[in-house]
Amino acid sequence: MMTKDVISPIVLDDEMVRGLAESVYEIHHSTVSKAGFDLTDAVSDQRRDAILGMISCVLTPTFTPVFGQSPENRYTDIFDQISDFAEHLAKRHIFADGIKRAIIQVHAIEKLCMAQKTRRPFQPAM
């Protein structure tokens, strides 16, 4: 029988959550751009900051301690943690379009989390 290594959930601090929020925003922007939409002029700096705040509101309870309980105690592995994040991101309706396409890129988000865990910069696939 083949056994797989379990990748434990990750714990981020506030600065890392902000960086991860920016990466998620960029993944979505890239996904929508590939579909032929250009959001560069449509999103003001104020709107971008609001979107980053909403993404952070989804990331924070998923990747930081809540009421003293670490994500390592709330999730069985990183995949459980990522699926919870993806579900809540979709339910919040943060983006007007492209959220399903962005969430389907779970492999990119997993790479993003692993990059944050190892503190190496994430490079979205273009």
Q: What is the mean pLDDT of residues 23-27?
A: 84
SS3 121: coil
Mean of all residue pLDDT scores within the chain? 77
The pLDDT of residue 86 is above 80: yes
Q: Is residue 12 part of a domain?
A: no
Q: Which of 23-27, 58-62, 92-96 has the highest mean pLDDT?
A: 58-62
Q: How many domains does the chain have?
A: 1
Q: How far apart are CA 27 and CA 59, in angstroms?
A: 15
Give phi and psi for 66, each to the nearest 5.
Answer: -125, 120
Look at residue 67 and tell me if it is in a domain: yes
Position 3 in a domain = no
pLDDT, one tens digit per residue, over 54-85 is 999 999 999 999 999 999 999 998 889 988 98
Largest CA distance in the chain: 54
Does 43 map to a domain? no
Q: Which amino acid is at 71?
A: P
Residue 65 resides in a domain: yes
Tally the residues of the chain: 126
Q: For 43-53, what is the mean pLDDT?
A: 87
Domain coverage including residue 63: 51-126
The answer as to whether 75 is a domain residue is yes
pLDDT of residue 57: 94
Predicted local confidence at residue 2, as pLDDT: 45
Q: How many CB atoms lie within 10 A of CB 83?
A: 13
Q: How confident is the model at residue 103 (pLDDT cuts 50, 70, 90)?
A: low
HEC-encoded secondary structure of 20-82: HHHHHHHHHHHHHHHCCCCCCCCCCHHHHHHHHHHHHHHHHHHHCCECCECHHHHCCCHHHHH
Question: Is 73 within the bounds of a domain?
Answer: yes
The more confident residue out of 112 and 47 is 47
Q: Above pLDDT 70, what percent of the chain?
A: 64
**87 in any annotated domain:** yes
> Between 120 and 39, whose confidence is greater?
39
3-state secondary structure of 12: coil
